[in-house]
Structure 1
Amino acid sequence: MGYGARAAIISDRRVTGLSADVISEFGAEVALLWHERHQARLESRSRKRAVGAGAKHRLVFIDRLLATLVHLRHGATHDVLVCWFGVDSSTIPRAIGEVRPLLAKRGCSIAGGIRLRTLAEVIDHLGASGQTGIIDGTETRVRRPQGSGEVHFPQEQAERRQGHGPHDARGRLLFCSPAQPASCADITHARQSGLVKHLANGPAVEILADAGYQGLGAQTGGRVLTPPHRKFKKNSPDWYKEIYERQRKAHSSRRIRVEHGIAHLKNWRALARHHGRRTT
């Protein structure tokens, strides 16, 4: 790709979803990790020529990064990226497969140069800063494979997969857990990710959650706060209805930022609908 086309992609935030400064930061940090991994792979096998000999990459790292960002942002197919970047049809899938794990290992950057990579680091950060965390799950549509004897359209019918991510009180993403099948409830997913263990053994923090996490409060010493449980399902007194609605709205107004954070993340096509392999 020419310099002018590369500069146009970087300068227009609508293409990659990131500012030029963030892309520059990615290029400086991830490029070093990619180069180290590439050199280690070359040195790990027996060679007849010195490392670095032979043909050079037609797709330099910054173009590999831009191709990955465009693919994640807009869900552009590999064929489109192949024509855009002017490389072989096997180059783009290989480049995306190399860059995506490196981006995932960076973790979530927050103010002050702090980067959180694990759930334990998130709990420690919230405890040290005295902030309130907000947790919620979201769903991503994926293609459903066509099984024997089934009559449906894989393009239209899709199962759900969920991922959970604590946010801070400002709605900034602090962590995103691996995806699980949609048959897994929110509270089960939280337990499997180790949230209960980290909260029980970690610092005293406050985590806001919706009704799908009711029960975690008792297991974490009251660290997880959920909406009040409705005691009267039928024929509840008027005074109770008023108190219940007031408490529910107060809790909802505090955790609404996590909904805004998830909506912002789903501007990325890869988080709105997944078209690749179900295992990834």
Structure 2
Amino acid sequence: MEQVISADRPKWVPVFTGLSVRVFRKLVRVVARRGGEQTGTGRRWGLSLADRVLLVAVYYRTNLTFRQVALLFGISKSAAGRVVDHLAPLLALAPVTRKHSPDTVLIVDGTMVPTHDRSMSASSKNYRYSVNMQVVIDANTRLIVAVGDPTPGNRNDCRAYTESHVDQQCRGATVMADGGYQGKPEVIMPYRKPRTGQSPLPQWKKDLNTIHRSVRARVEHALAHMKSYSILRNCRRKRDGVLYATRGIAQMRNLAMTT
């Protein structure tokens, strides 16, 4: 089969991945440092490392089937699947292992990712089988700091925050969130509207809520950008596939913002 797109023809990179050529080349270097280059003996890859990274980025961006992606790169369907299985962990955003400084402000929010893997998903409020992905950004740099493990879509954000273990990656920092994280005293949330018959919120609380909303909107912007990758709107990957896809997209977004 003839290869249709290749990293050797840079004009195709922004069209199929949404990344600039400069960001894509930096992504290839990141994957190479993590062990993406083939060394030693064994079966050789039919594609160069740059083309394999391009294949994964195209797959995430377009959510084409492996059969369709394979045709673009002139390889078999099974080979395309092996490329994604091999490189997806190397593209992923690394988990946070250190404690944050006290002056760090993080913002957390959850997003539903529809997935075909019924073993880890559940019917959620959008009536589709989804997983709840918890995403944390730095309020100052707006870079994605952490992505939690997937939890069933019927988990509310308060429960998913703990079960996804993303709370452990926020240690030491000040964490902001919306009102869905009730019961988490370490998370700063807006003041709740009083019930009927109770005194209205004083003006100073309303002013603080306004500031809180304007800051928290940054994580919503980040999630909207991540959802421009079609795989997060209908993920067909099994097991850790949705986790690697979300963390891989987070990595690409961070590179695009810092390059």
> TM range, normalised to the smaller chain?
0.7 to 0.9
The CA deviation at 1:94 is 0.8
1:118 aligns with 95
Aligned-residue Cα RMSD (Å) equals 2.9
Q: Deviations over 1:31-59 (max 9, x none)?
A: 350236x64xxxxxxxxxxx36xx74322
- Which secondary structure state, in structure 1, belongs to the residue aligned with residue 191 of structure 2? coil
Paired with 1:66 and 1:187, the residues of 2 have a C-alpha distance of 36
Which residue in the other structure is 1:23 paired with? Answer: 24
TM-score, scaled relative to structure 2: 0.76
From 134, 143, 150, the equivalent of 1:164 is 134
For the residue of structure 2 that corresponds to 1:175, the secondary structure is strand
What residue number does 1:136 align with? 109
1:87 CA displacement: 1.6
Q: Which has the higher contact order (CA 8 A, sep 6+)?
A: 2
User: Which structure has the highest helix share of the two?
Assistant: 1
Q: Is the 8 A contact 2:117 2:237 kept in 1?
A: no
On the 8 A contact 1:143/1:158 being kept in 2, the answer is no
DSSP 3-state at the match of 2:147: coil
Shift of 1:181: 0.4
Alignment partner of 2:157 out of 151, 176, 186: 186
Matches of 1:194 and 1:144, distance apart in 2:
20
Q: Compared with structure 1, are the counterparts of its residues 6 and 61 closer, same or farther at alpha carbon in structure 2 (3 Å cutoff)?
A: same
Question: 2: CA distance between counterparts of 1:62 and 1:195?
Answer: 31
1:278 Cα deviation after fit: 5.6
2-structure distance, mates of 1:279, 1:184:
18
| Residues 156-178 of structure 1, C-alpha deviations (whole Å, 9 max, x = no match) | 96222111121111432111111
Which residue matches 2:248?
Answer: none
Unpaired runs of at least 5, structure 1: 40-50, 108-116, 146-155
1:270 equivalent in structure 2 = 231
How many residues align structurally?
231
SS at match of 2:114: strand
Alignment partners' CA distance in 1, 2:5 and 2:131: 39
SS in 2 for 1:6: coil
Give TM-score, length-normalised by structure 1: 0.71
Identity score, percent: 23
Tell me how far 1:186 sits from its aligned partner: 1.1
The structure with the largest alpha-carbon Rg is 1
**Aligned partners of 2:5 and 2:169: how far apart in 1?**
49
Deviation at 1:138, TM superposition (A): 0.7
Uncovered stretches (5+) of structure 2, i.e. residues with no partner: 119-125, 242-259
